[in-house]
Amino acid sequence: MRKVFFATGNPHKLKEAKRVLSKYGITVEQLTVKRVEVQSESLEEIARFSLEHVMREVHLDGVVLVEDAGLFIEALNGFPGPYSSYVFSKIGNEGILKLMDGVENRRAKFESVVAAVNQSRIVTFRGEVLGVIAHEAKGGKGFGFDPIFIPYEGDGRTFGELEVEEKNALSHRARALRKLAEWLTGSSKII
Amino acid sequence: MRKVFFATGNPHKLKEAKRVLSKYGITVEQLTVKRVEVQSESLEEIARFSLEHVMREVHLDGVVLVEDAGLFIEALNGFPGPYSSYVFSKIGNEGILKLMDGVENRRAKFESVVAAVNQSRIVTFRGEVLGVIAHEAKGGKGFGFDPIFIPYEGDGRTFGELEVEEKNALSHRARALRKLAEWLTGSSKII
C-alpha cells in the first residue's frame, strides 16, 4: 500500500484525490502546512514553487504533492485562471455570471496541475476538461466555480450537480491525479 | 544627492516616483529584474517577499525598493485588491464597470505599499486614497484602473484625467513614496 502526502487545505480536493488514488492502491494523507503561492499565469510554476516551499517546511519520507487549478474562460482572456480561488472568494459565481452576461462565447476550461516530489525530484502532471459557462449557477456539490461549469462530455449538468464519482470521471483534477497514480505505480512512463 | 534603485517594469510608476522623490533631492534608477510576487491579500507581504527576492538576485550598494498597489472596491469585498494588475490585463476597466453595473455603493480605495531595504533592514510605507468607481472610464493618462477611479479629494475628474503632478498630489503611491523620502532624508521617524 503506497501513501502520498497531499498539501492542501481544501477538503473537497482531498476527498476527490482519495477517491481517485484509492483505485490504484494509494492512500492519501492530508498535510496541513502554510502554502506559499507565487503570482504567475502558469499553474505549473505556481505548483512547483509551492511544492518547493512545502519541501523546505517539512521533511517526510515519501511522496509529497500539491495541486493548483483554475477556470479559464475564453471570452475573458483566460480570467480568472490561476487566481480562481481568490476571485471566487471575492465575487463568487454571481460575479462571473455578471461578467458573462450577454456574452455568446461561453467556452471555458478547468485545468489542474499536480506537482509531486519523490526523492527530491519534482514532476508535474496536467489535466483539463473543456466545457461552457452556464447561464445560472446549479447544484450544491463540489466547490468554487463548479456550479457554473458544464463539461462537454457530461449530460448537461454542471460540476456542482455531480457526485464525487461522476465528477472524477470527467474532471481536470482527476485526470492529473490519474497520471500521477500511473507514474507512481509504474503503469506508464512520464512523457 | 541620494539615489534609490526602484525594481519595477512599469514606466508609469517609475515616472511618478521620479517626480515625487526629486523634490527630496533623491534620484531614482530603474532596476530591471524579474520580480516574484507571492499570492496574498496583504500588500505588505507581497512587497516584502518581492524585495527579499530582488535582494537575492542583485547586490547593490544603496537603497533598493519595490512597490505594490491595488484597487479595493467595497461592494466587491475588496476585489480586485492585490491582483489588480492581473485582473486589469484580463477584464480591464470594462469588466469592473460591468461588475459594478447597478451597484449603488461605489466606494473604493487605492492602496500602495513601498518596501525599501537599506543595509539589509526592510521597512515598508503605506499610502492610500479614498474615492468612488466612476460610471464610465474617462481619461487616457495614468495606467490600469486610473480612468475609473475618482478620488474624493479631487475635483471630480478620474485619475486617468490628471497630469502626473496632479495625481501625485493625491495618490496612494505618492503618499507612500513621500513617507519613504522622509525616512531617507531623516525628516521624520518611522512609526
pLDDT in tens, B150-175: 999 999 999 999 999 999 999 999 99
How many domains does chain B contain in total?
1
Q: Is the pLDDT of residue A26 over 60?
A: yes
Query: Residue B76: inside a domain, yes or no?
Result: yes
* HEC readout, B77-133: CCCEECCHHHHHHHHHHHHHHHHCCCCCCCEEEEEEEEEEEECCEEEEEEEEEEEEE
Q: Across the strands, what pairs with A38? A: B38
Q: Across the strands, what pairs with A109? A: A72, A130
- Which of the four pLDDT bands, split at 50, 70 and 90, describes residue B191? very low
Query: Residue B190: inside a domain, yes or no?
Result: no
For residue A95, give the amino acid letter.
G
Which of B39, B81, B90 faces A77 most closely, judged by CB atoms? B90
8 Å CB contact of A90 and B98? no
Q: Is the pLDDT of residue B91 over 60?
A: yes
| List of chain B residues whose C-beta atoms are within 8 Å of the C-beta of residue A90 | 76-81
Q: What is the DSSP letter of B38?
A: B
Provide mean pLDDT across the span B106-128. Answer: 94
- Of A115, A147, A142, whose CA–CA distance to A131 is shortest? A147
Looking at the complex, report in whole angstroms how far the Cα of residue B91 sits from the nearest Cα belonging to chain A.
6
Looking at the complex, report in whole angstroms how far the Cα of residue B74 sits from the nearest Cα belonging to chain A.
10
For residue B65, give the amino acid letter.
L
Q: Which three cell numbers stand for residue A19?
A: 477517491
Q: What is the ipTM of this complex?
A: 0.85
For the CA atoms of B55, B60, B65, B66, what is the dihedral angle to 10 degrees? -50
CATH code of the domain covering residue A101: 3.90.950.10
Query: Residue B61: inside a domain, yes or no?
Result: yes
Query: Residue A189: inside a domain, yes or no?
Result: no
User: How far is the C-alpha of A179 from the C-alpha of A116, rounded, in Å?
Assistant: 11
Provide mean pLDDT across the span B102-128. Answer: 95
8 Å CB contact of B99 and A79? no
Q: Which three cell numbers stand for residue A33?
A: 502546512
CA distance to A37, A79, B6, B14, B171, per residue, from A83 (Å): 10, 8, 27, 27, 27
Q: Is the pLDDT of residue A190 over 50?
A: no
Phi, psi at residue A87, to the nearest 5°? -60, -40
The residues of A assigned a catalytic role are 68
| List of chain A residues whose C-beta atoms are within 8 Å of the C-beta of residue B99 | 91, 95, 98-99
Pick the residue from chain B with its C-alpha nearest to A93: B99
Which of B39, B76, B98 faces A37 most closely, judged by CB atoms? B39
Phi, psi at residue B58, to the nearest 5°? -125, 150
Give me the total of CB pairs closer than 8 Å, taking one residue from chain A and one from chain B: 62
Average per-residue pLDDT for chain A? 94
pLDDT for the residue B86: 95
Geometric angle at alpha carbon A123, from A45 and A112, rounded to 5°? 55
User: How far is the C-alpha of A108 from the C-alpha of B13, rounded, in Å?
Assistant: 34
Query: Residue A99: inside a domain, yes or no?
Result: yes
Percent of chain B with pLDDT over 70: 97
Provide mean pLDDT across the span B78-107. Answer: 97
pLDDT for the residue A61: 80
State pLDDT tens for residues B36-66: 888 898 999 999 999 999 998 888 888 999 9
Query: Residue A190: inside a domain, yes or no?
Result: no
Query: Residue B94: inside a domain, yes or no?
Result: yes
- Which of the four pLDDT bands, split at 50, 70 and 90, describes residue B188? low
8 Å CB contact of A90 and B79? yes
Which of B39, B41, B79 faces A38 most closely, judged by CB atoms? B39
> What pTM value is reported for the model?
0.90
CA distance to B112, B165, B186, B188, per residue, from B2 (Å): 23, 22, 12, 16
Query: Residue B191: inside a domain, yes or no?
Result: no
pLDDT for the residue B118: 79
- Domain encompassing residue A35: 2-184
8 Å CB contact of A95 and B79? yes
More confident residue, B157 or B34: B157
